[in-house]
Structure 1
Amino acid sequence: MPSTLPIADPAPRDGLLPSHSAAASAGADFGVYLHVPFCRVRCGYCDFNTYTATELRGARQADYAEQAATEVRFASDVLERSGVPARQAATVFFGGGTPTLLPSTDLGLMLRSVRDTFGLADGAEVTTEANPDSVDARYLDELAAAGFTRLSFGMQSAVPHVLRTLERTHDPERVPQVVRWAKDAGLQVSLDLIYGTPGESLADWAASVDAALECEPDHLSAYALIVEDGTKLARQIRKGELSQPDDDLQADMYELVDDRLAAAGFRWYEVSNWARDEAHRSRHNLAYWLGQDWWGVGPGAHSHVGGVRWWNVKHPAAYAQRVLAGESPAAGRETLDAATRQFEDILLRVRIRDGLPASSLSAAGRSAVAGLIADGLVDAKAALRGSVELTRTGRLLADAVVRRLVA
């Protein structure tokens, strides 16, 4: 969740959605994202909307769970008054920040507000992100008892000098321990890795991938480090204190993780995500890539319902003021026209293994597929079935593929 919000139309204080949203939501799954914007320290590469204790300026972490629960109830009222069909939450995702900086009872309160307000669909996926040093066995047992089904740990690397460059505070030796605790609690486990950190070698990356696999997670994400403007990392690179990530090395790192995960029985299902089987895919993130509906709760959180997208005010104090006044915390919103929705559908769906139906492309886009096959970026057999599916080289150049499909 980037810290800079888009510029768009003003959002109404009552939060009501336009009349066409109700029809556009028909048949779409519904999810809830809860943003917990607190971190113990700010990592130098991070551009997310997060706040350390000294940056809260009038907001209090202890008050946050009830504020979020208030927005959940507000969301239900808005959707009902907007005529959007009532749906149970198929997925719930707690992101941040570090959600597990809050007591487990606070996360349980927020989840209970979703359950009591919307209901949870049978087999609902309920995930929270966590840092390895922010939980213990008892905390994880309490999350499982509250109804959580899945933990996503920010491992990032197993190599101490890489973690130091990223300004991650956990001991890499703690990761296997917290994974074991989570599994003992009956939770599915995902590990997040980052590759391409300045000073990270291919051997360093291989060591991190191997260490992650030794933990036997159910799911693994591997993201190329992106240097975001305004971050400490960007300033360090600009001053020459650290080197710019190398594109060719990052490509080698991607191929390495893809090979090793495939050998361990994982299948990629999105460019940066692998799972042991279909049951362990992140259904919440798949809902984003497939353009489903979700309500984002919390400062800076983004939502999408029935072709309307909006985002909340950024600072926790401003957020609390709006929510406690019974007003929408949205800072702005936009209604997606047909062209924008088609572009975003191509942009997102081409990244998943299941592919993009060729029938959803324009005539020019369908004509471009032959050239993409010739260049080794799109799978020829899948194209004969009417599906645009990326080869591994295509995954490395996914943005270029999208540009050709929408040209």
Structure 2
Amino acid sequence: MPSILPVADPAPADGALPASAAEGAAERDFGVYLHVPFCRVRCGYCDFNTYTADELRGARRQDFAGQAGLEVALAARVLADAGLPARPASTVFFGGGTPTLLPSADLAAMLAAVRDVVGLAADAEVTTEANPDSVTPRSLDELAAAGFTRVSFGMQSAVPHVLATLDRTHDPARVPDAVAWARAAGLNVSLDLIYGTPGESLADWRRSLDAVLALTPDHVSAYALIVEQGTALARRIRSGLLPAPDDDLQADQYDLADELLAAAGYGWYEVSNWARDERHRSRHNLAYWTGQDWWGVGPGAHSHLGGVRWWNVKHPAAYAQRITAGLSPAAGRETLDEPTRALERVLLESRLVSGLPVTRLQTGGRRAVAGLIADGLIEGPAAVHGRVVLTRPGRLLADAVVRRLTD
């Protein structure tokens, strides 16, 4: 969730949706994302909409759960008024920020608001992100008792000097404890990694991967470091204090991750994500990638319903002021036209192991398929059966593949 919001149309004060949002809704899943924008410290690479204690200026962490509950109630009213069918949430995801900086009781209260007002599917996936140093055995037990099913730990690296460059504050020795506590609570576990940090060697990256595999998580995410403008990391690179990430090294690191994870029985299902089996894929993220519906709760949170996309005001104080006044916190929105939606489907679905139906492509894109097979970027057998599926080299060049498919 970038800190800079897009420029688009104004959103109505009551949050009302156009009638088009209800078209085909019965065939789409519905999820809820809750953005908890609080962090203990700001990591130097992070461009997300997050706030440390001294940046809140007029907002209080202890009030946030109640404010989020007000937006959940607003969501239910808006959905009903727009004529959307009642759909219990199939997935709920608490992101941030560090949601587990809040007391477990606050997270439980927000989940209870979703359950009581919107409803939860019987098999709902309920995830919270967490830092390894922001949980205890007791807090994880409390989350599991409240209905959480999954925790995603921001491990990032097992190497101290890499964590220091990223301004991560946790001790890597804490990760095995956090994973063990989550498992004891009955939660599924995902571990998030970042590769390509300045100064991180291929040997350092292997060390992190080995540490992950030793913990046998259910799910692994590995993201290439992106240097976002305006961050402390970008300033350090621009001033020459750190080298910029090396594209060739990042490619080698991705290859190593896929090789080791595959050998350990983890299958890729999205370019940056691997799971032990289909049951442990992130259903919430798959909903994003396959164009389902979701409501984003909280400062800066983004929502999407039937081709209507909107985003909330960024600062927690502005969010609190609007939601407590009974107003929608939306700052702006856009209604996607059909060509834009089709382009997004190509962009997102081509990143999945299930692939993109060739029938989704325009004539030029279909003609590009043969060349992409010849270049080793998409799988020939899958294409014969009508789907575009990236090879490992194709995953490294996913954006270039999409450009050729959409020219």
TM-score band, normalised by shorter chain: over 0.9
Structure 1 outlier segments of 4+, above 3 Å: none
Q: Aligned residue for 1:86?
A: 86
Equivalent positions of 1:312-391 (< 5 A) are 312-391=312-391
2:104 aligned residue: 104
Show the counterpart of 1:136.
136
Alignment of 1:247-326 (within 5 A): 247-326=247-326
- Post-superposition offset of 1:26: 2.9
- CA apart distance, 1:363: 1.1
- Aligned ranges for residues 84-233 of structure 1 at < 5 Å? 84-233=84-233
Which residue in 2 is equivalent to 1:393?
393
Counterpart secondary structure, 2:345 = helix
- In the comparison of the two structures, how many residue pairs are matched? 407
Question: Deviations 1:366-388 (Å, cap 9, x if unpaired)?
Answer: 11111110110010000000000
Shift of 1:23: 1.3
Query: Mean alpha-carbon deviation: is it higher for 360-369 or for 141-150?
Result: 360-369
Instruction: Indicate the larger mover: 161-170 or 14-23.
Output: 14-23
Output one character per residue of 1:30-64: Cα deviation in whole Å (capped at 9) or x when no partner.
00000000000000000000000000001000000
Shift of 1:21: 1.1
**Which residue number in structure 1 is paired with residue 26 of structure 2?**
26
1: CA distance between counterparts of 2:203 and 2:274? 21
Query: CA deviation digits over 1:42-89, x for unaligned, max 9?
Result: 000000000000000010000000000100000000010011111000
CA offsets, 1:208-243, max 9 Å, x none?
Answer: 000011111000000000000000000000000000
Letter in 2 for 1:57: R
Alpha-carbon RMSD across the aligned residues, in angstroms, is 0.5
Q: TM-score, normalised by structure 2?
A: 1.00
The one-letter code matched in structure 2 to 1:353 is V
Q: Does the CA-based 8 Å contact 1:92-1:126 persist in structure 2? A: yes
Task: Determine the C-alpha separation between the residues in 2 that align with 1:186 and 1:5.
Answer: 37
Cα deviation for residue 25 of structure 1 reads 2.0
Instruction: Measure how far apart 1:350 and its partner are.
Output: 0.2
**Structure 1 contact 24–307 (Cα < 8 Å) conserved:** no
2:41 alignment partner in structure 1: 41
Aligned partners of 2:10 and 2:117: how far apart in 1?
A: 27
- For the residue of structure 1 that corresponds to 2:405, the secondary structure is helix
Distance in 1, matches of 2:78 and 2:310, equals: 13
Letter of the 2:285 counterpart: N
- What amino acid does structure 1 have at the position aligned with 2:388? V
Q: Work out the CA distance in 2 between the residues paired with 1:88 and 1:361.
A: 33
Unmatched runs of 5 consecutive residues or more in structure 1 = none
What are the ranges of 5 or more consecutive residues in structure 2 without an aligned counterpart? Answer: none
The sequence identity of aligned pairs, in percent, is 73
How far 1:20 moved relative to its partner?
1.3
Secondary structure at 1:26 match in 2: helix
TM-fit CA distance, 1:24: 3.7
When normalised by structure 1's length, the TM-score is 1.00
One-letter amino acid of the structure 1 residue matched with residue 304 of structure 2: H
Corresponding residue for residue 4 of structure 2: 4
Partner AA of 1:145 in structure 2: A
- Aligned partner of 2:331: which letter? A
